[in-house]
Every structure is written in structure tokens, then in C-alpha cells.
């Protein structure tokens, strides 16, 4: 592929708007609500009783200022209080012009993430409530608004409850092990969107590279009492500015969803007539959707994009677009010093993706976090594979299962259109299912989630329990922090791996590969956590900082250990990928290839060849 073609493929998509939080469903009329808000702690939970929602936060004992979307625990928020407060309130004024309030227009308030529960009021009137800290939600607030200033109030509650999905957020007063400061309340972008009353919603895309087509499902906004007659949908796909496919379809009577198929085979973009998405060549198509009235007038217009690629499992390997794929992944937890779980800005998200590429990896495992969707956008654009993982809870109860399931369904539906995502990982190291080795109910829960995920998205593999006791799983993934490449090879090579897969011996000296009653059926094998080498200057570091194995004291020692372990994994017969721990240091963990401030500890030019060791031949 020529350099010019590569540059075209890695350019932002046609509908891209810098900073816009929802890059696969873009409307140009929007207002960013991030910035300064009024804020108050409500440790005594008196705000509802004393009417803060209707009277404003002026009645709070102490009114503070917070910089949204950073949680109050972060210094970037302007507060920097890391103690736990179970109830917090937010308030700001939103100016609405009279011309924005018409019979044909709607105003929608969107939150990308609020941890964990919240209620929202407009001018003292309840707009709605929501549970779940990691996925997007919205409220149509049109009827609650007035021309001029409007008061927006949010009450968020979060508690250190191990039943609820919390990922790496601590539930103890202090950080410990690999759990860090909690994140409370608004922690992702907030914005207003202005759209028609009758509008598009719920885009679902599925590409078929063999048939060379895109299958679309598009809904209408919820809450329409009566759907107008004669509606139509026009979909236009283009590549690098060249229209390759266009189709218009009428909405069937009594339906609220369009289903249509666009052909993608066009000689206008070259002899082969189609472009596939893959690392190094991340071809993306632009997509324009227009909702039409019975006379053909455009009621609503949305810009999106998609990538055409196929992931499948066959004969013990993962195949991408008909070719064996060796995955060189890095664990990425997405924490920053000043902003915690929230990225400082979109540019910081892109820089992380570029750093992963510079270090020689072709993908990442986003660990215990559902990242800002703009991160996935840049993975799509720059061609980086992503394993998408659920934030764990830590106890097995009926309430926990319900909370986990509801949020996981929402996450899969929200993220499934991104071509960069090549694997779903609902569980990690038996967190939330601590007795899965022997407990049939916990095994059944993971099986149910795996099957549910396949039903929601049959196009990607699903891992039942990344790292430890697997049940029904498309990939078998092992976590092993053996510090010596020689010791790793001695334990796994020969018949060592087969003994582990037969559940005859534990791996990592403690865990079995399968839960009771489950066995290896030839699924692909990956070492999905390894390394974690502690390498950092001792001066000024966090007390209790750590990594896996003995700390290395200089660059040469780090490179030697990194090379030895990675080589042992790549040379392991039957292994089709790895995931190194990890991209950056995080608070007390100093095992990143970069500091938490994104400074490379070692020139990536020295690390990248070791990361890529023989992986092209293995693929």
C-alpha cells in the first residue's frame, strides 16, 4: 500500500467533529456542557428533603465549584478530595434561544457516564433517572425548557458496594493492591443536542466481507406516540470522498425500525472494489443517513462511519479477513495523574493510541473500564485492535447479577459498531464469581452472559473469564506473571501447556484453566496478562509502589527481561497472542512502559522490535 493511500485511510472520517462525544452518530447542532458547575457534598442526604432540586444549591451548607467532567476526587476538578462522599449534587445554567424551542425541534441532554445512580432536574422538574456508571444515557428535556436561562441539576449517588460494577475503583478508604481511587458522579462528557422531534436513533451496523455488503438497522426515537406515515430512510456509503452505494427505503406500516442492505462492491475505489479494515490498513467508509418525510424532504441527518472486516475462530487460530492473526496487545487501564479515570481531553486519548503503535503493539486490552468513545474512534481510525471489557463487581448476589447484566447489555449495544473491537471480555479473573471453580450457579452465570453477548453480537469472540477458570469461551486466556523467560519456557513448553489445558496442573502456580466440568475443545490460546515489570526511579514515587517480580534497576535489565519473556511466549506452540502489563504506571503500580504522565521510560524504538519478535512469521 502506498504512503498516499495509507494517509487517506488514517485521516479522520468525513463526519468527524473535534471534541464531539459520539463519533459514530454525529449531529452538528450540539452544545458542550463541560466546564464550571456549582457543586455540593450531601453526606447527610438532606438535599432532597430540603429541596435543592427545586430551590437550587444555594441552600447547601457549602457550595463549591467543580470542573465537569472530572470527578471531585481528581485535582483537575478543582476539588481534589479523595475521601468517599456517597451523595453529590451538580448545578449549572443553560441558555436556550427561543428559536431552539419550536414544535418541530427537540432538545436532548446526554451523559456519557455518571457513576453510579443519578436523577436529573430541569428548572426543578424531574427529567429522569439512571443507574449504571459506564454507559451513555439521555433525556428529552424539550418540554421542561424555557427561552432564556434554565437551571440544570444533577444528584449522583455512589457507594462502596461490591455488588455493583466498579472495575478498579477501590471500596476501602485507601488504595491497595491494584485498586485505585474511586470515581463518583459525572466523569464523562455532558452535552446538549438539538434535533427534529421525529428523528433517527439506535444505529446498528454489521458488515459482511464475503457478500460485500453492509446490513443496517436504524430506529426512530423512543416516545413517539404516533409515527408519521410515509417516512423513508436514505443511506449513502462513500470511501475517501467517492460515493459507492446509495439506497432509499420506506418504513413499513406500524414499524419503528428500518432494515436495509447496502452493497459495498464498487470499481470506483479500485480494481478489487472493496477495502477491508485491519491493523496497518484501517480502511473506513463514511455513512450518511437521512430520514425523509412522505414528500422526500430531509427531516433528520446523521453522519457515521464503518469498517468492513471479519473475525472468526478456526482450527485453533483467530482469523482476521481470512488470514491468521497474532495479537500483540498491551493492557491499558486508562488512568491519568490529574484527571483519574477521565481523559484530560480527546488529544490525550489519541496520544495513547499512537503510543501503543509506537511500542510495536497492534492492539490493547482495555482493562476494567468502558473508555470514552472517542478513544475507540481513534483506534478505528489508526488501526488498533481492542478487547472491550466490563468493569467488575466483586460479590455474587442476585442484585449484583442484575446490575451487571443490565449494564453489560447497554455497553455491547453502544460499542458494537466499532470495527476496532475484536473481542468481548465480560469477566476477569473470577471477579464477581469468586467460587466459579466449583459453584455451578456462578458457572451458569458466566455461560448465560457469554450466550447473551453472542446473541447481541454474533460477529465477535467472547471470553468467559479472562485469565482463570473458563467455562463456555471462544478463546482460552491465561494470566501468568512469571518473571523469568527461562522459567516460563520450562513450565509451558513441551507438554506443559497441554497439561494445563487438561486441568491436570495449575498455571501461574495457583489457578486452573477450566472450571469443574469444562474442558479444552481446541480454542485458541493467548497469554493475556504477563510481564508487569517494575521499572521506575525510586525518588518521589508513591509509597508501597510495586510491580510483578523483582524490580529492575536499569534499562538494560528491563529490555533483557522483556525480550526473554516475550520470546518465550511467541515461541510457545499453539499460542496466538499475548497482552503485556501494562501501558502506563497507575498510582502505586509502577509497571508501565510509560509513566502516568505519559513519558516513555525507554525509547519505544528499542521496545518495538522486541514486541514484534517473530510475530509476522507466527501469523
- Output the pLDDT for position 7: 36
Mean pLDDT of 56-85: 96
Give pLDDT, residue 9.
45
The tens digit of pLDDT for each residue in 511-543 reads 999 999 999 999 999 999 999 999 876 655 666
Task: Quickly state the pLDDT bin for 8 (edges 50, 70, 90).
Answer: very low
Q: For the segment 542-600, what is each residue's pLDDT rounded down to a tens digit?
A: 666 888 888 888 999 999 999 999 999 999 999 999 999 999 999 889 999 999 999 99
Write down the pLDDT at residue 2: 34
Query: What CATH code would you report for 3-22+197-306?
Result: 2.60.40.10
pLDDT in tens, 436-456: 999 999 999 999 999 999 999
Residue 191 pairs in a beta bridge with 32, 110
pLDDT, residue 20, reads 97
Across the chain, which distance is largest between two alpha carbons, in Å? 74
Task: Name the grid cell of 539.
Answer: 525518588
- Angle in degrees, CA 532, 537, 540, rounded to 5: 115
* Per-residue pLDDT, 4: 32
Domain-wise residue ranges, the chain = 3-22+197-306, 35-68+70-187, 311-614
Buried b (16+ CB within 10 A) or exposed e, 181-202: bbbbbbbbbbbbbbbbbbbbbe
**pLDDT of amino acid 539:** 57
Domain 311-614 has CATH 3.40.50.300: no
> Is the confidence at residue 1, as pLDDT, over 90?
no
Q: For the segment 334-393, what is each residue's pLDDT rounded down to a tens digit?
A: 999 999 999 999 999 999 999 999 999 999 999 999 999 999 999 999 999 999 999 999
pLDDT at 354: 97
Cα gap 303→593, rounded to integer Å: 37
Number of residues that make up the chain: 619
Q: What is the mean pLDDT of residues 10-21?
A: 89
- Interatomic CA distance for residues 199 and 292, integer angstroms: 10
What local confidence, expressed as pLDDT, does residue 257 receive? 93
Query: pTM score, two decimals?
Result: 0.96
Please check the confidence at residue 33 and state whether its pLDDT lies above 60: yes
**Over residues 257-285, mean pLDDT:** 89
pLDDT score at 272: 76
DSSP for residue 12? P
Mean pLDDT estimate for the chain: 93
Question: 6: pLDDT confidence band, cut at 50, 70 and 90?
Answer: very low
Q: What is the pLDDT at residue 3?
A: 34
pLDDT for residue 148 is more than 70: yes
pLDDT of residue 615: 65
Which residue is associated with the grid cell 536499569? 554
The CATH fold of domain 35-68+70-187 = Jelly Rolls (2.60.120)
Amino acid at each position: 500500500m502506498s504512503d498516499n493511500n495509507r494517509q487517506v485511510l488514517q485521516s479522520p472520517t468525513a463526519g468527524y467533529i473535534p471534541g464531539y462525544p459520539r463519533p459514530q452518530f454525529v449531529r452538528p447542532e450540539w452544545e458542550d456542557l463541560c466546564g464550571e458547575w456549582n457543586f455540593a457534598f450531601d453526606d447527610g442526604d438532606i438535599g432532597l428533603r430540603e429541596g435543592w432540586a427545586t430551590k437550587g444549591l444555594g441552600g447547601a451548607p457549602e457550595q463549591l465549584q467543580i470542573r465537569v467532567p472530572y470527578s471531585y476526587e481528581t485535582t483537575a476538578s478543582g476539588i481534589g478530595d479523595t475521601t468517599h462522599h456517597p451523595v453529590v449534587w451538580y448545578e449549572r445554567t443553560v441558555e436556550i434561544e427561543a428559536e431552539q424551542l419550536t414544535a418541530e425541534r427537540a432538545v436532548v441532554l446526554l451523559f456519557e457516564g455518571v457513576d453510579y445512580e443519578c436523577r436529573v432536574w430541569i428548572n426543578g422538574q424531574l427529567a429522569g433517572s439512571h443507574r449504571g456508571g459506564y454507559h451513555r444515557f439521555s433525556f428529552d428535556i424539550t418540554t421542561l425548557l424555557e427561552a432564556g436561562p434554565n437551571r440544570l441539576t444533577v444528584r449522583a449517588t455512589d457507594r462502596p458496594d461490591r455488588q455493583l460494577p466498579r472495575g478498579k475503583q477501590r471500596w476501602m478508604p485507601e488504595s491497595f493492591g491494584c485498586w485505585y481511587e474511586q470515581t463518583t458522579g459525572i466523569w464523562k462528557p455532558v452535552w446538549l443536542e438539538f434535533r427534529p422531534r421525529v428523528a433517527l436513533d439506535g444505529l446498528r451496523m454489521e458488515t459482511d466481507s464475503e457478500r460485500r455488503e453492509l446490513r443496517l438497522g436504524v430506529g426512530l426515537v423512543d416516545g413517539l406516540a404516533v409515527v408519521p406515515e410515509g417516512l423513508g430512510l436514505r443511506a449513502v456509503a462513500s470511501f475517501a470522498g467517492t460515493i459507492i452505494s446509495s439506497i432509499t427505503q420506506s418504513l413499513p406500516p406500524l414499524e419503528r425500525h428500518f432494515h436495509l442492505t447496502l452493497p459495498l462492491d464498487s470499481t470506483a475505489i479500485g480494481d478489487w472494489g472493496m477495502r477491508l479494515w485491519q491493523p496497518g490498513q484501517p480502511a473506513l467508509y463514511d455513512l450518511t443517513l437521512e430520514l425523509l418525510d412522505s414528500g422526500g424532504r430531509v427531516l433528520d441527518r446523521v453522519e457515521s462511519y464503518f469498517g468492513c472486516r471479519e473475525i472468526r475462530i478456526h482450527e485453533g487460530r483467530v482469523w482476521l479477513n481470512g488470514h491468521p492473526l497474532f495479537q500483540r496487545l498491551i493492557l491499558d487501564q486508562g488512568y491519568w495523574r490529574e484527571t483519574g479515570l477521565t481523559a484530560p481531553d480527546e488529544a490525550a486519548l489519541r496520544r495513547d493510541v499512537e503510543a501503543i503503535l509506537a511500542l510495536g503493539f497492534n492492539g490493547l486490552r482495555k482493562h476494567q473500564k468502558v473508555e470514552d468513545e472517542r478513544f475507540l474512534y481513534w483506534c478505528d481510525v489508526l488501526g488498533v485492535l481492542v478487547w472491550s471489557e466490563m468493569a467488575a463487581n466483586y460479590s455474587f448476589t442476585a442484585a449484583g447479577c442484575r446490575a451487571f447484566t443490565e449494564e453489560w447489555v447497554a455497553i455491547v449495544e453502544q460499542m458494537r459498531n466499532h470495527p476496532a473491537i475484536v473481542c468481548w471480555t465480560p469477566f476477569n479473573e473470577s471477579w464477581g464469581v469468586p467460587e466459579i471453580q466449583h459453584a455451578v450457579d456462578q458457572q451458569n452465570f458466566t455461560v448465560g452472559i457469554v450466550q447473551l453477548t453472542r446473541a447481541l453480537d454474533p460477529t465477535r469472540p467472547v471470553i468467559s473469564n479472562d485469565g482463570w477458570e473458563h467455562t463456555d469461551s471462544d478463546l482460552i486466556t491465561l494470566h501468568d506473571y512469571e518473571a523469568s523467560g527461562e522459567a516460563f519456557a520450562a513450565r509451558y513448553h513441551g507438554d506443559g501447556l497441554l497439561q494445563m489445558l487438561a486441568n491436570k496442573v495449575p498455571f501461574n502456580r495457583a489457578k486452573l484453566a477450566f472450571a469443574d466440568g469444562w474442558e479444552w475443545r481446541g480454542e485458541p490460546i493467548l497469554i493475556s496478562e504477563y510481564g508487569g515489570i517494575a521499572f521506575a526511579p525510586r525518588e518521589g514515587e508513591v509509597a508501597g509502589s510495586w510491580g510483578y517480580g523483582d524490580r529492575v534497576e536499569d534499562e538494560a535489565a528491563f529490555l533483557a527481561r522483556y525480550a526473554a519473556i516475550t520470546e518465550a511466549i511467541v515461541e510457545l506452540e499453539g499460542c496466538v497472542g499475548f497482552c503485556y502489563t501494562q501501558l502506563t504506571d497507575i498510582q502505586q503500580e509502577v509497571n508501565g512502559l510509560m509513566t502516568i504522565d505519559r513519558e516513555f521510560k525507554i525509547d519505544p524504538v528499542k521496545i518495538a522490535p522486541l514486541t514484534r519478535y517473530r510475530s509476522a512469521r507466527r501469523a
